[in-house]
Structure 1
C-alpha cells in the first residue's frame, strides 16, 4: 500500500549510506599485491574471479583483437556516442577549463597559477557480469581532452565476442594500456604498481563494494574521483504527463541495483496514486522478466511525496539531492531555478535519463549519497593540477613588513628571520 510523504517527513528520514565490512579483506588484498606484484594478480584472479590467467595475459594488446565479429550498427553507434561526448567536453574545456594565468605588479614581480594535467590516470571499467562501453567514454574522454598523457585501464571483462564493444570503445579512443584484471587487486596494482602495470597518480571509475573500499584505502597514496554508491533517481511530475513515461523513467534507473534510492514527488495527488497502481499492475504482468525482481524490490522502497505547493516539491528534491532528477512538466522552464542539488537534471517530457547515459554527450559519472550538494559531475578540471607561482625580482618593503609582523604574532621565529633577511 502506498504511503504519501510530505515535506515535514524529511527530518524523520534516515538516508542509509551502504557501508560494509569488506575493509579487512581488501586491506589484505592490497598488502598481497604490494608484496608479490603480478604473481598476486594471477593468484587473486584465480581465487576471486575463477580465471586461470598467466602473467603474460595481464596486458591486453588492443591492436591484436579482431573486431570483424562486432555488428556494424553497434560500431556506428559507439562512434556516435564517442563523438557526442567528445563534442560536449571540448565545449566544457573552452567554457570552464582551468587555464594558467600570471600578473605583474609595478616592480615587475610576478604572481600567478600554472595549470597542468595529471601525468598518469588509472581507469577502472567493471565487466564481470555486464559490459559498460559507455563508461569507457565517460571516464576517459575528459582525461584525454585535459591533456593526460598516460591512461592505464583495468577491466575484468574477458576477451570474448560479448565483450567486444568494451574493447572497441578503448580502440576508438586510442587507449592501448589495458590490463585484464578486476576487483580490489586492480585498484592495488594501479595505486602501487607492479612489474607490468604502471603506478598512476589518480584512479577513477565505478565498481562493486570491494573496488570502492580499495579506492577508499588507497586514497592518499593516489587521488580518486569519488566513492560511488548505488544509483539514485528522483522524479517530479505534474498534470498531463503519461504514466508510461514516468514508469520507464523510474524503472530505467532502479533496474541497476536493488539498493537504489528512488523517489517521486508531485503536486498531483491523484496522479501519484494512479502511477503507483498502474506500475504495480505492470510489474505483476511482467513478473517473468529477469529484471523485474530487482525493480519490484526497489519500487517497494520508492518514496512518494505529495505537496500542493510546487515550491515545496523542489525543496524535497533539493534535500534528497539525487544522482539523477527528471523534471516532467508541461512548463518545465519556470521550475528550473528551483532545482539546486541533483547531480544531473533531465528537463522536459521528451528528455530521458537514458539519453544522459548514452547519447546526448553529458557525463554520467555523478556523485551519489547526497554528495552532489558539495561535489560535481566528472569533468575536465578533475584531471588538472593548480600550482601557485611567485617570482619576486625586486625587494618590496611592504612584503617584509606584513610577513615579519604576522610571523611575530604567530611566534614563528625563523619565519620572522627569513622575512627580514631578504
Structure 2
C-alpha cells in the first residue's frame, strides 16, 4: 500500500480531491465545549480553589494551595543552570535571533500637523500584561516559550505570565530555562481550560491578562475561543502544515524529510509536495518509505502521510504556486532555482522558505521569524504572531480653533444626514463660539 497518495492537477476530479484532502474538523465539539464552559464558570466563581481541583483531577497532582503551582524566579534560574551547557547555548542563540528579528517589527507613534494647526496621529502603546500558554507533560516545547514571550517583551509588555501544565509533577528544565532566558516574569504550572480561565478572569494567585497566546490541545483551543472578548487571543490553531514546491532538482531525501518533519507532529498534520516532475515525485515517495522506517514517531507520521498527505503533479511552477495560494499553507517551501523571482506570486502563506537549503525546521527553532503561524487556510487573512500583536494603536486628534471651525461644519452636515442632532450641535458649538 502506498505511503502517500498522488494527485494530478489536470485530472477532472482534482478540485474535489483537493477539497477532500484539505477538510479538517475544527475545535468545535459540543462535548468539549460543555466541559470547557463548566470549567470556565467554576474558575470564574471559585478562583484558585477550582484551578487546584481541576489540575489535581486532570494532571494527577496533589496541590494544596496556590503556592504549590507557582515557580519562583530563583527556580527558573536554577533550571537555566541545570540544563546541559550545549542546550543552554542553543536556547540563548535562538533567543538572540528571535529578539533581533522582532526588533525590526516595532512600530512607533507618529503625528502630522495640517496647515491650520490641527494635529492628527497615532499613539502606539504596549499591552500591560499578557499570558502565554506552553504545552507541557512528556513533550517539551522551549521554542514555544521563546516565540511567544520574546515578541511581547520586545513590544514593551510590562508583565509576561506563563502557564505550563506539569502532569504527574513533571516539567521540563528546558522549558523553565527558556522562560528565564526569554524574560518571563511569572510562571504557573497549570494547564488546560482551567489555566486559560485563570488568565482570562484572574484568580487570587494568577493575574488577569489582556491577551492569551500560545498553542494547546482541543480543550485549550475551545477555552481560548470561549474567553475571546473577555481577553484577546492570538488565533485558534489547527494541525501543523507544510507545502513544498519543488522543480525536481533538490535531493529527494531532503524533501521527504521536510515532509516528515510535519507529519511527525500528530496524525492530523498535513504534508504536501507539488512538482512538475513526475519522476521526482516518485523518487520522493520512495524516500518517504525508506526514511519513515527510521523515525521514532513513525507510527504517527505514517498516519499523517496516509490520511492527509499528498504528492501533486502539475504542469509548471506557476501552476504549483496557484495551488499553494488556494491552500494558503502554514509553511511554504519554495525549493526551486531562483526562488526570489517567484516571491511576488506568493499571496497566501504563513511563512515562506526560499531555496534548496532552507529547511522549514529552521524556522521552528532559530531562524528568527515567529513559528506561531496561521493554519487551515487562514493565511488568506492572518499573519504570523509578532510584536504588533502586543501593541495597541490609539488615534490622536487635536483640533486648532481654525480646524474645529472647518471640521465642525462638515460634521454638522453629515450628522444631520444621519438624523443625529446632538452630534451636529456638539460639532457646531465650537464653530459658533469662534
**Residue 398 of structure 1: aligned partner:** 406
- Superposition CA RMSD, Å: 1.8
Contact map agreement 1:407 1:413 (CA 8 A) in 2:
yes
1:324 aligns with 2:331: yes
Relative to the length of structure 2, the TM-score reads 0.91
Q: How does 1:321-400 map to 2 (within 5 A)?
A: 321-395=328-402, 396-400=404-408
State the 1:69 CA deviation: 3.3
Moved over 4 A (4+): 158-162
**Residue 426 of structure 2: aligned partner:** 418
Q: Secondary structure at the match of 2:82?
A: coil
**Residue 138 of structure 1: aligned partner:** 147
**Residue 118 of structure 1: aligned partner:** 127
Going from structure 1 to structure 2, the CA distance change for 1:248 and 1:336 (only over 3 Å counts) comes to same
Contact map agreement 1:124 1:207 (CA 8 A) in 2:
yes
Aligned partner (choices 298, 307, 313) of residue 306 of structure 1: 313
The unaligned stretches of length 5 or more in structure 2 are none
**Residue 90 of structure 2: aligned partner:** 77
Q: State the distance in 1 between where 2:154 and 2:381 align.
A: 24
Q: State the distance in 1 between where 2:164 and 2:48 align.
A: 15
Contact map agreement 1:189 1:199 (CA 8 A) in 2:
yes
Q: Secondary structure at the match of 1:153?
A: strand
Q: How does 1:71-220 map to 2 (within 5 A)?
A: 71-90=84-103, 92-93=104-105, 97-157=106-166, 163-220=172-229
Contact map agreement 1:131 1:157 (CA 8 A) in 2:
no
Contact map agreement 2:336 2:355 (CA 8 A) in 1:
yes
Relative to the length of structure 1, the TM-score reads 0.94
Q: State the distance in 1 between where 2:257 and 2:64 align.
A: 44
Q: State the distance in 1 between where 2:115 and 2:335 align.
A: 56
Q: State the distance in 1 between where 2:118 and 2:6 align.
A: 66
Aligned partner (choices 40, 43, 50) of residue 30 of structure 1: 40
Q: State the distance in 2 between where 1:282 and 1:133 align.
A: 26
**Residue 70 of structure 2: aligned partner:** 59
Say how many residue pairs are matched.
415
Q: State the distance in 2 between where 1:415 and 1:162 align.
A: 58
Q: State the distance in 2 between where 1:231 and 1:268 align.
A: 26
Q: State the distance in 2 between where 1:208 and 1:166 align.
A: 18
The unaligned stretches of length 5 or more in structure 1 are none
Going from structure 1 to structure 2, the CA distance change for 1:398 and 1:17 (only over 3 Å counts) comes to farther
State the 1:393 CA deviation: 3.5
Q: Which moved more, 1:70-79 or 1:107-116?
A: 107-116
**Residue 266 of structure 2: aligned partner:** 257
Going from structure 1 to structure 2, the CA distance change for 1:392 and 1:167 (only over 3 Å counts) comes to same
